[in-house]
Amino acid sequence: MATQPVDLNELSILQAVVEGTVLATGDDFLRSLVRNLCLATGVANGFIAEFTEAKTRVRSLAFWADGEFLPQQEWELSGTPCEDVLRGNLCHYPSELSKKFPHEEGVESYLGVPLQDSEGQILGHLALFGQQPMPEQPRLLYTFKIFAARAAAELNRLRMETQLRLSEKRYRELFDEAPIAYVHEDRDSRFLQANQAALRILGISPEQVPGIRGISLVPDTPDAQARLRAAFACVEKGTDSAGVVLELRRKDNGRPVWIQWWSKTDPSGQFMRTLFIDITERVLMEQAQARLQAQNLYLQEEIKSAHNFDEIVGRSPALRSLLNQVQRVAQTDASVLIQGESGTGKELIARAIHSASKRKNQPLIKVNCAALPSNLIESELFGHEKGAFTGAVNKRIGRFELAEGGTLFLDEIGEIPLDMQVKLLRVIQEREFERVGGQTSIKMNVRVITATNRNLLHEVEAKNFREDLFYRLNVFPLTTPPLRERLEDIPLLVDFLLGKFAPKIGKKITSVSLGSMRRLQQYRWPGNIRELENVIERAVILADGAVLEIGADQLPGSSDARHPDSPQTNDASLDTITREHILSVLEQTRWVIEGSKGAARRLNLKPSTLRYRMQKLGIAKTGQ
């Protein structure tokens, strides 16, 4: 394109450039400005350039040369007229430029203005150059400075935009990749945005984010809902708390997740900024710890009432056959029902089954169904959620949960009320249960062993015990033989019991007189081995020499009981004998039940069990 002689009419230049750039912004503006300046001034070439990182070079942002834009280029400043401009000076070489700058061969004139930001920092420069002279015109220079200021502002704005984009990108990366879960949700708990940690913890895919409602992940249990209400209350009050612990269910597989949760309204008021961390592992550990603590407590109670459960003494065929069955059934997970008279060793057998089973390293938990008031049995067995009923202030772990992985021994199963029998049947069938007041089913892996001194089949016939439950429990029936059917075990047991009590009481007793042993073998033992234990303990206390003497007066009960060949005692006469025995012990202890000198201790019964039996047998102190 042929260059015109320079006609520098200030107003027309101003007008042409303003009109040519008015609609442009950003890069377009810079290009428009350079082009229009060249066209309006008739100078062939013009450019806007910015410093590179090195500051010894510049790079063009818009370069107009002989009627067209050149691609972006970079050049070294040294030895060019630009060098001085970038030091902050307006430089005008009206003619003979190449004489001063030999590198710029063929260039006649040059006009350059630095581009500065509001703080005076030099960003780059705007320059025109051509093959024609460019006469000195102060007012033109002034106009030129105005456009340089406008170009600098635009350049600055472009840089800010780039920085903003960069910091937005960084923020997005931070939001997305942060180890803490971030969610933006609307007032209705609908997710607007969620980062990767949130997606991972909640089991949701990025596509599911728009529209998913956070509260839909909270299970419909009283406890979880109460936590949710507390969380909302925190947001309402604006309390900056330590975070609320919430229980959720994962979207993908419904598994429970526990999170510590904080939420705040965004200053714009448009959405909530929520963040949370996954504390499931911690909560599960705390739950396991609570269970262990409860087990520990239970076991400490057990130790207090410690018995020696290791030894089952006896060689009689009846006992051997029983032990043989114990060994066989122990290997399986079958439910076992142990029936037998009181004091025949049913609990001992239940423990032997557990100890010989693969569950032996897990707890054996015992529940005495007779000792529990009927309104508490359910919570005792299955536990309860906070506030499930009056008096239930804390969450309680039930016996089924305590026995997880191990064995639950339900003693005196014949005593549980009918409505509880229905619940128990369901739990044993489905192998899962709910805490009282809870709605979540808890899976269980518990072997159930039950025992009773009642004839449970008679109870079924009398409609006191559910037939379906009876058959569920009675998968493998065992019967502990009464002592009178294993008289040959008496000497062994007496020896064993002597070894147990004599050192404890501090007496040296080596044997039992022949007459005493005969007497012991002729007695009918309505209270079985427990009764034998009591007799021996009492005799040891009273003993004077090394040979133990047990007189007829030391064997309690009616003459009927002492008769070896009397017909098998029926339930009624057994009750009579038990009643008399308890009465005689109570009289000896002056009706004191608890404590070291109490009747319960002497009878080797728990005070609650003794009270229950007294009530059942109609024993009450005269005048009470």
Positions in the binding site for ligand ATP (CB under 6 A)? 307, 311-314, 340, 342-348, 411, 451, 453, 480, 529-530, 533, 604
Secondary structure E strands in 31-174 = 45-51, 57-65, 68-69, 74-76, 91-93, 109-116, 122-130
Shortest approach of ligand ATP to residue 575 CB, angstroms?
14
For ligand ATP, the closer CB: 37 or 614: 614
For ligand ATP, the closer CB: 397 or 582: 582
Shortest approach of ligand ATP to residue 481 CB, angstroms?
10
The DSSP-derived string for 361-420 is TS-EEEEEGGGS-HHHHHHHHH-B-TTSSTT--S-B--HHHHTTTSEEEEETGGGS-HHH
For ligand ATP, the closer CB: 175 or 476: 476
Shortest approach of ligand ATP to residue 465 CB, angstroms?
17
Instruction: Tell me the backbone φ, ψ of residue 121, rounded to 5 degrees.
Output: -80, 135
Shortest approach of ligand ATP to residue 343 CB, angstroms?
5
Shortest approach of ligand ATP to residue 618 CB, angstroms?
19
DSSP code of residue 302: H
Give the number of other Cβ atoms within 10 Å of residue 251's Cβ.
Answer: 16
For ligand ATP, the closer CB: 46 or 343: 343
Question: Could you give the CA distance from residue 374 to residue 367 in angstroms, rounded to a whole number?
Answer: 13
The DSSP bridge partners found for residue 317 are: none
The DSSP bridge partners found for residue 410 are: 367, 450
For ligand ATP, the closer CB: 32 or 480: 480
For ligand ATP, the closer CB: 148 or 529: 529
- Count of H helices and E strands in the chain? 22, 21
Q: Crossing angle for the helix pair 10-21 and 138-177, nearest 10 degrees?
A: 20
Q: Please name which of 243, 252, 230 lies closest in space to residue 274, comparing C-alpha atoms.
A: 243
**Positive or negative torsion for Cα 306, 309, 310, 313:** positive
412 to each of 366, 409, 455, how far by Cα in Å? 11, 10, 11
Give the number of other Cβ atoms within 10 Å of residue 308's Cβ.
Answer: 8
- Per the CB < 8 A criterion, the answer to whether 157 and 115 are in contact is no
For ligand ATP, the closer CB: 247 or 347: 347
Strand order across the 336-340 sheet: 364-368, 407-411, 447-452, 336-340, 476-480
Shortest approach of ligand ATP to residue 495 CB, angstroms?
11
Question: Could you give the CA distance from residue 263 to residue 244 in angstroms, rounded to a whole number?
Answer: 9
Contacts of residue 553, Cβ cutoff 8 Å, sequence gap at least 6: none
Shortest approach of ligand ATP to residue 599 CB, angstroms?
15
Shortest approach of ligand ATP to residue 523 CB, angstroms?
16
Shortest approach of ligand ATP to residue 326 CB, angstroms?
11
421 to each of 137, 262, 472, how far by Cα in Å? 111, 45, 11
For ligand ATP, the closer CB: 126 or 529: 529
For ligand ATP, the closer CB: 345 or 363: 345
550 to each of 60, 157, 311, 511, 519, how far by Cα in Å? 120, 111, 24, 12, 8
206 to each of 25, 52, 199, 202, 524, how far by Cα in Å? 36, 40, 7, 11, 79
For ligand ATP, the closer CB: 31 or 613: 613
Shortest approach of ligand ATP to residue 427 CB, angstroms?
23
Question: Could you give the CA distance from residue 129 to residue 94 in angstroms, rounded to a whole number?
Answer: 9
For ligand ATP, the closer CB: 278 or 347: 347
| Residue 83 CA from chain centroid, whole number | 68
Question: Could you give the CA distance from residue 445 to residue 403 in angstroms, rounded to a whole number?
Answer: 8
- Per the CB < 8 A criterion, the answer to whether 333 and 406 are in contact is no
DSSP code of residue 482: P
Shortest approach of ligand ATP to residue 313 CB, angstroms?
4
Query: By beta-carbon distance, which residue lies closest to ligand ATP?
Result: 345
Shortest approach of ligand ATP to residue 569 CB, angstroms?
15
For ligand ATP, the closer CB: 208 or 479: 479
For ligand ATP, the closer CB: 185 or 341: 341
Shortest approach of ligand ATP to residue 532 CB, angstroms?
8
Question: Could you give the CA distance from residue 270 to residue 283 in angstroms, rounded to a whole number?
Answer: 33
For ligand ATP, the closer CB: 275 or 451: 451
